[in-house]
Chain A
Amino acid sequence: MARYLLRRLLAAGLVVWGVLTIIFLVVRVIPGDPAAVLLGTFATAELVAEQRTKMGLDRPLATQYVLFIRQAILGDWGRSYHEGRPAFTLVIERLPATLELAVAAIVTTTVLSLVLGSLAARRAQSPLDRAIGAASLLGQAIPNFWLGLVFILVFARRLNWLPSFGRETVWHLVLPTATLSVQLIGVMTRLIRAGILETMGQEFVRTARAKGLAEGAVLARHVYRNMLIPVVTMLGLQLGALLGGVVILETVFAWPGLGRLIVTAINNRDYPVVQAAITLAAVIVVLVNLLVDLTYAYLDPRIRYE
């Protein structure tokens, strides 16, 4: 286990380094001068040159890169052009709101897709299975920002049941969570259904049945336990998509999280904040996937010895 752990940690470290490099390349190498952008249209050439020196943009690219990596590791992303406060602090302040939304969506997705996926698999090829299948496809096809607006229109504006903007009470969490979960439930339900059907066809399930085990026990002890590992992995892999969804939905629901911060920062051309927020989000995704890997290596010894 120790060797496996070390190898996975090393790999995750490399990926984080790669992610930082991509961000550096996108921000620094793409045409366009951050200093000129920061100062606006009316800046003189002298002012821009001075700003470039202040931001370290006049140094060789390699030096800039080393400085960039060092600052990233130290959590020093510079100050927000807009608010003057450290970018990293701004980002960290917004993190709990985004995590709250993400966790709510993951819990909702897991529960509902397990129920729907099991129902569909147990009654494979029945009308119920087909209905669930069609609904999952529909869930994946709906643009989530549009669904969010429809939910606001119906449940907030017309029916007046739920609040649509902000993050104050637990009721504010309902509409964003529902919107965010719809697409994920579509993906996960199909996977869980396929996973159950595949596991049910395995020899060990036949053996379990043949030795007279009750159907419920076969399902609980053999089918679900074996199917959960790929399901948890997929859920981990969906996290990237989930975060993408969060960025957009936070804008729709005026949810004060990381996503809304990114969009506002982009509109204000507040690049230190954009960089810090996107880096943090990407690093979180890498770390969660590492955690998922380690958890199932712990649960399933076969994986460790690959």
Chain B
Amino acid sequence: MKGDAAIAAASAAPPARPARSLTTTRKGRRVVVTGAVVAFAMILGLIGPGVVPYDPVGLRLEARLQPPGAVLPDGRVAWLGTDQLGRDLLAQIVHGARVSILVAASTVAIAGVFGTALGLLAGYYGGLTDTVLMGLVDLQLAFPPLLLAILLAAMIGPSVGNVILTLSVIRWAVFARLARGSVLSVREKEFVEAARALGASNVRIMWRHMLRNILTPIVILSTLQIALQMLAEAALSFLGLGIPHPLPSWGVTISQGREYLQNAWWIATMPGAVMTLVVLAVGMFGDAVRDYLDPRFVS
């Protein structure tokens, strides 16, 4: 059945948008540049652990608390220094990046899919479904997210799976609210009516016609949420409620470095500095994507 899609495409075509190009417009180029930085960090985090060796439980007392740039007894250079057990900080940061990226991406994906689906249902069906689901959304948004995460994490204990669960639970509501709002704005459009007149089922209308039309704001929100999730994971791990030892995590390394602030400042500061740069890059990428995709937003 190609007919209803064609009608939908024709009536959904937005009124003459400015031509969009990734290379010739300033906004487009910003997406490319910030995207490249993020991609670089991602690749480093995903491939790096295979290249940089790191033994989380290895103890090398002769190499402990070495400052950045120090030459270790085995001849290697510790570019960012070593920690209290003689482990290389650079290796720890690269391995921590993998965990951080994995957790942030998967939680945004889970929260995004669930939240969007529920928002879609609420907006499409309205009535009681809408009232109940949006009541839950309001409730979730009223509960300070990090407090809920701390409570959940404290109850279910630290593990990678539990961190992913916890951080997904605290974010779905944002997606649900956005999806519902977007659905309401397209629900009465002609292309939906046309699809319905052609006999399309509710599921088909939601999946093929609505979801595609509300995807842009969802994508923008997802990019911005990834930075928040990286910060949340690090915060939980810093409190000992996130990624458990001996997995490398930025939050855990920073927390351990607290004890050595006086004589080995690099343990706590290096992972945080790297993390700030990565989160900043992701945030700038999110902003760039928003400016590029959303013509209404003028900065």
Q: Judge: A and B partners, yes or no.
A: yes
**Which of A's residues lie within 8 Å of B, judged by CB?**
14-15, 18-19, 22-23, 26-27, 30-32, 137-138, 140-147, 149-150, 152-153, 157, 239-241, 243-245, 247-248, 251-252, 262-263, 266-267, 274, 278, 281-282, 285-286, 289
Once the chains bind, are B276 and A143 in contact (CB under 8 Å)? yes
Smallest beta-carbon distance A295→chain B, Å: 18
**Which of B's residues lie within 8 Å of A, judged by CB?**
135, 138-139, 142-148, 150-152, 154-157, 227, 231, 234-235, 238-241, 250-251, 254, 257-258, 261-262, 265, 268-269, 271-272, 275-276, 279-280, 283-284, 287
Q: Can you give 18 A-B contacts (C-beta < 8 A)?
A: A23-B151, A26-B148, A27-B151, A32-B155, A137-B280, A143-B250, A145-B251, A146-B268, A149-B254, A150-B272, A153-B265, A240-B143, A248-B238, A266-B239, A266-B241, A282-B142, A282-B143, A289-B142
Q: Which residues does chain A contribute within 8 Å of B251, judged by CB atoms?
A: 143, 145
Smallest beta-carbon distance B115→chain A, Å: 17
Smallest beta-carbon distance A228→chain B, Å: 22
Smallest beta-carbon distance B65→chain A, Å: 15
Q: Which residues does chain B contribute within 8 Å of A286, judged by CB atoms?
A: 142
- Helix, strand, loop or mixed for chain A's interface? helix
Give the complex CA separation of A286 and B271 in angstroms: 35
* CB-CB nearest in chain B for A183: B231
Give the complex CA separation of A152 and B260 in angstroms: 12
Once the chains bind, are B268 and A26 in contact (CB under 8 Å)? no
Q: Which residues does chain A contribute within 8 Å of B227, judged by CB atoms?
A: 140-141
Asked whether A27 and B155 contact (CB < 8 A) given A15-B138, A140-B283, A262-B150, the answer is yes
Asked whether A30 and B258 contact (CB < 8 A) given A19-B142, A243-B144, the answer is no
Smallest beta-carbon distance A261→chain B, Å: 12
Once the chains bind, are B287 and A137 in contact (CB under 8 Å)? yes
Once the chains bind, are A240 and B144 in contact (CB under 8 Å)? yes
Looking at B144, B148, B268, B279, which has the most chain A CB atoms within 10 Å of its CB? B144
Once the chains bind, are A274 and B275 in contact (CB under 8 Å)? no
Give the complex CA separation of A252 and B283 in angstroms: 25
Looking at A31, A149, A247, A285, which has the most chain B CB atoms within 10 Å of its CB? A149
Once the chains bind, are B146 and A143 in contact (CB under 8 Å)? no
Smallest beta-carbon distance B134→chain A, Å: 12
Asked whether A145 and B254 contact (CB < 8 A) given A26-B155, A137-B283, the answer is yes
- Of the candidates B143, B275, B287, the one whose C-beta lies within 8 Å of that of A146 is B275
Smallest beta-carbon distance A76→chain B, Å: 19
Give the complex CA separation of A144 and B174 in angstroms: 23
Give the complex CA separation of A23 and B142 in angstroms: 13
Smallest beta-carbon distance A151→chain B, Å: 11
* CB-CB nearest in chain B for A142: B276
Q: Which residues does chain B contribute within 8 Å of A244, judged by CB atoms?
A: 144-147, 235
Q: Which residues does chain A contribute within 8 Å of B155, judged by CB atoms?
A: 26-27, 30, 32
Q: Which residues does chain A contribute within 8 Å of B234, judged by CB atoms?
A: 143, 145-146
Once the chains bind, are B151 and A278 in contact (CB under 8 Å)? yes
* CB-CB nearest in chain A for B234: A143
Give the complex CA separation of A219 and B258 in angstroms: 47
Q: Which residues does chain A contribute within 8 Å of B138, judged by CB atoms?
A: 15
Known A153-B261, A243-B144, A251-B239; further 6 A-B contacts with Cβ < 8 A: A15-B138, A137-B283, A142-B279, A240-B143, A248-B238, A285-B143
Asked whether A146 and B139 contact (CB < 8 A) given A157-B261, A278-B147, the answer is no
- Of the candidates A15, A31, A143, A150, the one whose C-beta lies within 8 Å of that of B235 is A143
Give the complex CA separation of A150 and B154 in angstroms: 27
* CB-CB nearest in chain B for A281: B147
- Of the candidates A19, A245, A251, A266, the one whose C-beta lies within 8 Å of that of B154 is A266
Once the chains bind, are B145 and A248 in contact (CB under 8 Å)? no
Q: Which residues does chain B contribute within 8 Å of A282, judged by CB atoms?
A: 142-144, 147
Q: Which residues does chain A contribute within 8 Å of B150, judged by CB atoms?
A: 247, 262, 266, 278
Looking at B147, B148, B238, B275, which has the most chain A CB atoms within 10 Å of its CB? B147
- Of the candidates B145, B152, B156, B284, the one whose C-beta lies within 8 Å of that of A241 is B145
Q: Which residues does chain A contribute within 8 Å of B279, judged by CB atoms?
A: 141-143
Give the complex CA separation of A253 and B142 in angstroms: 27
Q: Which residues does chain B contribute within 8 Å of A26, judged by CB atoms?
A: 148, 151-152, 155
Give the complex CA separation of A22 and B138 in angstroms: 13
Give the complex CA separation of A281 and B227 in angstroms: 25
Smallest beta-carbon distance B110→chain A, Å: 18
Once the chains bind, are A22 and B272 in contact (CB under 8 Å)? no
* CB-CB nearest in chain B for A28: B155
- Of the candidates B157, B235, B265, the one whose C-beta lies within 8 Å of that of A145 is B235
Give the complex CA separation of A239 and B141 in angstroms: 12
Q: Which residues does chain A contribute within 8 Å of B135, judged by CB atoms?
A: 14, 18
Q: Which residues does chain A contribute within 8 Å of B241, judged by CB atoms?
A: 266
Once the chains bind, are A285 and B144 in contact (CB under 8 Å)? yes
Give the complex CA separation of A141 and B150 in angstroms: 21
Q: Which residues does chain A contribute within 8 Å of B275, judged by CB atoms?
A: 143, 146
Once the chains bind, are A145 and B238 in contact (CB under 8 Å)? yes
